[in-house]
Amino acid sequence: MASRNDSNFMDTIVSLCKRRGFVFPASEIYGGIGNTYDYGPLGVELKRRVKEAWWTRTVTMRDDVVGLDSAIIQNPKTWETSGHVAGFTDPMVDCKKCKSRFRADKLEDARCPERPSKRPGECGNELTEPRAFNLMFKTQVGAVEGAGSIAYLRPETAQGIFLNFKNVVESSRMKPPFGIGQIGKSFRNEITPGNFVFRTREFEQAEMEFFLPPEQNDHWYQYWRTERHQWYLDFGIDPSRLRMREHAPDELAHYSTGCTDVEYEYPFGWGELEGIACRTDFDLKRHSEASGKDLRWFDPDTKQKYFPWVVEPAAGVDRTALTFLIDAYDEEKVEDETRVVLRFHPEIAPITVGVLPLVKKEGMPEKALEIDRELRRGRYATFYDESAAIGRRYRRLDEVGTPYCVTIDGDTMKDDVVTVRERDTMQQERVKVGELRSWLADRIATWKRPERKS
Ligand code: GAP
C-alpha cells in the first residue's frame, strides 16, 4: 500500500493523475517540454472547482469585493514601475563544463547532471560567480522587432488590479475598505521548476487586492489571514498539515509591514500555498508617480485624498489543486483488496455523482440515463457507467474521488427508489428518485472530512 511517508509517494500521485486524466505532461508526443503540464478532463474540472470555490467565497458572497480580468500583456512600463524589471530575479550559477544552470541559493537541493550523487560544484567542475537572472518571459509586440516592441508576460496578476484601481472605483463606486479579485495565468521563467505542478513556468493565480484606510491595516491583515486559513479547512484540508508562517522582518519587502504564508506539509516538505501580504500604498503610489495619473482615493467624508493601503491574499490555483489531490489520497484494505480513494470535499470533486445501472438489461440503462440527465439539469457533474461489475465501478469512481454513486436496480423499476452509496463510509441508503437532488444538496452542505488512519 502506498503511504504518504514513502519516498515515491509523489510518483503514485503523478501516475494516478496520468492514468485517470487529471494531468498529462505537455507536448508529450514530441517528448514533452520540461516541467510543463496539461490538465485532462478530470484535472480541468478539479481546477475549475478550486477557482469556483475561491471566487464564490472571495468575490460572489461578499459585497465588498468585485472581480476583474486584466490583460496578460500590459504596457511594459507596468513592470518597470512595479520593480519586476530590475528586481524580479533569482541568483544563478552556471557549470563551466556541462553548461547547466542552477539557482545559487538552492545548490543544496540540486544535483550535478553528470554525477547525480554530487551537488553542482562538488562534482569537480567549476561554477561561475552568481548572476541575477530575470524570471519574466519577454515577447515582441507588433510586426517590427526592436527594443521599443519588447513586452512581458505578466509574472503575477496583481499589477493588473493596481492599474485598474481608478477604473473600478469610478465604474463600480466602491469605497475603501474594498477588494478587487482576479484569477488568471501568470508566467515565470523558473530555472528550477519541480515537484510536479507545484512549481511550473506557466500557472494560475487567484489574487485579491484589498484596499483600505491605513489605520485599518492590522485589522484586515488579521482578518484575511484567518479567512484564508479557514477556507482551506472548510474544503477539507487536514488541519495538522496546514500552518501559518509569519515572515521574519528581514524576509519582508522594504515597503511591507507584514506577510504570512499559508503552508502545507507536502510529501517533499513544507511548502507555500499562498501568501497574505501587507503591501502598504507602495504599488498605487509608484504607478501614480510613473503614469502621472492621480490614483489617490478621495474620501467624501473627510474631504481628504490618500493612497489606500493594501492587504493581498495571493494563492496559486495549480498548487491548491495539487494540495487537494495529495491531501485527499487515501488507501484502505477492504476484504482482500486495496481501495484507493480520493476523499475530496464534494464541492471540489471533479465528478459529484456516478450513475450506475446494476445490469445492462430490463430497462435499467434507460432509467439510469433518465436520472443522469435529470441530475445534469440540476447542475450536478455526473458520470454514467454501465461497464463491469458494480463493485469494480464503485472502485473506479472512488479512485477519482466521486462522493456519491446512484445505483438503479430491479426494485427501482418498480418503486422509483435508487440506492445511493457514499464514498467515504461505503454505506448505502435507499432514496426516492424525486428526492435525489435535495438529498444530494443536503449531504454536500453537511459533508465532514472523515477521520483517517493514514
Ligand atoms: N502578487 C504576489 C505574488 O505573486 P507569490 O508568492 O510570488 O506572490 C503567489 O505568488 C502564489 O502563486 C504562491 O503562493 C504560489 O501558490 C503561486 N505560485 C508562485 N509561483 C509559482 C510557480 N512557479 N508555479 C506554481 N505556482 C506558483
- Do 309 and 358 share a structural domain? no
Judge contact between 211 and 166, C-beta under 8 A.
no
∠ CA 271-277-279 to the nearest 5 degrees? 145
3-state percent breakdown (helix, strand, coil) of the chain, nearest 5: 35, 30, 35
Residue 316 alpha carbon to ligand 1 centre in Å: 5
CA dihedral 326, 332, 336, 338 (to 10 degrees): 0
Tell me the pLDDT band of 2, cut-offs 50, 70 and 90.
confident
Instruction: Indicate if 251 and 150 belong to the same structural domain.
Output: yes
Residue 157 CA to ligand 1 center (angstroms) comes to 10
Rg (C-alpha) for the chain, rounded Å, is: 25
Which of 82, 154, 156 has most ligand 1 atoms within 8 Å of its beta carbon, as the pocket-test mutant? 156
Give, for ligand 1, the residue of 188, 205, 261, 270 to mutate: max count of ligand atoms closer than 8 Å to Cβ.
Answer: 205
Instruction: Judge if 388 and 289 occupy the same domain.
Output: no
Judge if 150 and 265 occupy the same domain.
yes
266 shares its domain with 376: no
- The rounded percent of the chain whose pLDDT value lies above 70 is 99
Atom of ligand 1 nearest to the CA of 156: 4
Give the pLDDT of residue 451.
83
**Ligand 1 atom nearest to CA at 190:** 23
Look at the alpha carbons of 289, 292, 295, 298 in this order and tell me if their dihedral is positive or negative.
positive
pLDDT, position 453: 60
The pLDDT of 335-355, averaged and rounded, is: 96
Cα–Cα distance for residue pair 251/248, rounded to 1 Å:
5
User: Are 371 and 224 in a shared domain?
Assistant: no
Q: What is the largest CA-CA distance in the chain?
A: 79
Does residue 235 lie within any of the structural domains? Answer: yes
Q: Which three cell numbers stand for residue 89?
A: 530575479
Whether the CA torsion 376, 382, 383, 389 is positive or negative: it is: negative
pLDDT at residue 194 greater than cutoff 90? no
> 269-280 and 258-266: which strand pairing?
antiparallel
* 189 Cα–ligand 1 center, Å: 12
In a domain, 245, yes or no: yes
407 lies in the same domain as 292 = no
Residue type, 113: P
Residue ranges with strand state E in 68-174: 89-94, 101-103, 131-134, 138-140, 150-152
The enclosing domain of 237 has a CATH number of 3.30.930.10
| CA 50 to centroid of ligand 1, rounded, Å | 16
Same domain, 271 and 416: no
On the question of pLDDT at 145 being above 80, the answer is: no
Give the mean pLDDT of 273-301: 97
- Taking only the tens place, the pLDDT of each residue in 109-140 is 888 888 888 899 988 889 999 999 999 999 99
pLDDT for 379 beyond 70: yes
Mean pLDDT of 312-320: 98
* Residue 106, domain member (yes or no): no
Q: Is residue 65 in a domain?
A: yes
Does residue 362 share a domain with residue 313? no
The number of distinct structural domains making up the chain is: 2
For residue 186, pLDDT over 90 is answered with yes
pLDDT band at 146 (very low <50, low <70, confident <90, very high): confident
pLDDT score recorded for residue 34: 85
pLDDT at 326: 98
Which residue has its alpha carbon closest to ligand 1 atom 12?
Answer: 316
Residue 162 phi/psi, 5° resolution?
-60, -40
CATH number for the domain spanning 420: value is 3.40.50.800
Tell me, yes or no, whether 222 and 273 share the same domain: yes
**Average confidence score pLDDT of the chain:** 95
Are both 317 and 382 inside the same structural domain?
no
Closest residue CA from atom 17 of ligand 1: 316
Q: What is the pLDDT of residue 6?
A: 84
Q: How far is the CA of 199 from the centre of ligand 1 (A)?
A: 8
CA distance 130 to 97: 16
Tell me the best of 196, 203, 251 to mutate to test the pocket of ligand 1, counting ligand atoms within 8 Å of each CB and taking the most: 203
CA angle, residues 362, 367, 368, in degrees to nearest 5:
110
- Distance in Å, CA 376 to ligand 1 centroid: 35
pLDDT at residue 181 above 70?
yes
Asked if the structure places residue 268 within a domain, the reply is yes
Give the pLDDT score at 103.
Answer: 87
pLDDT for position 376: 97
Write out the residue range of the structural domain in which residue 373 sits.
Answer: 351-445
Domain boundary among 325, 343, 367: 325
Helix (H) or strand (E) holding 233: helix 217-234
pLDDT of residue 454: 59
Point out the least confidently predicted range of 111-115, 234-238, 332-336: 111-115
Examine the domain organization and report whether 17 and 141 are in the same domain: yes
Measure 222 CA to ligand 1 centroid, in angstroms.
21
Read off the pLDDT band of 99 (50, 70, 90). confident
Predicted confidence (pLDDT) at residue 148 exceeds the cutoff of 90: no
As for ligand 1, residues whose beta carbon falls within 6 Å of it are: 156, 158, 188, 190, 199-200, 203, 205, 207, 272-275, 314-316, 318-319
Per mean pLDDT, which range of 45-54, 216-225, 314-323, 444-453 is the poorest?
444-453
Domain presence at residue 96: no
Closest CA to 419 of 401, 395, 398, 394: 394
How far apart CA 101 and CA 93 sit, in angstroms, is 6
Q: Which residue's CA is the nearest one to ligand 1's atom 8?
A: 314
Which numbered atom of ligand 1 lies nearest the CA of 317?
A: 16
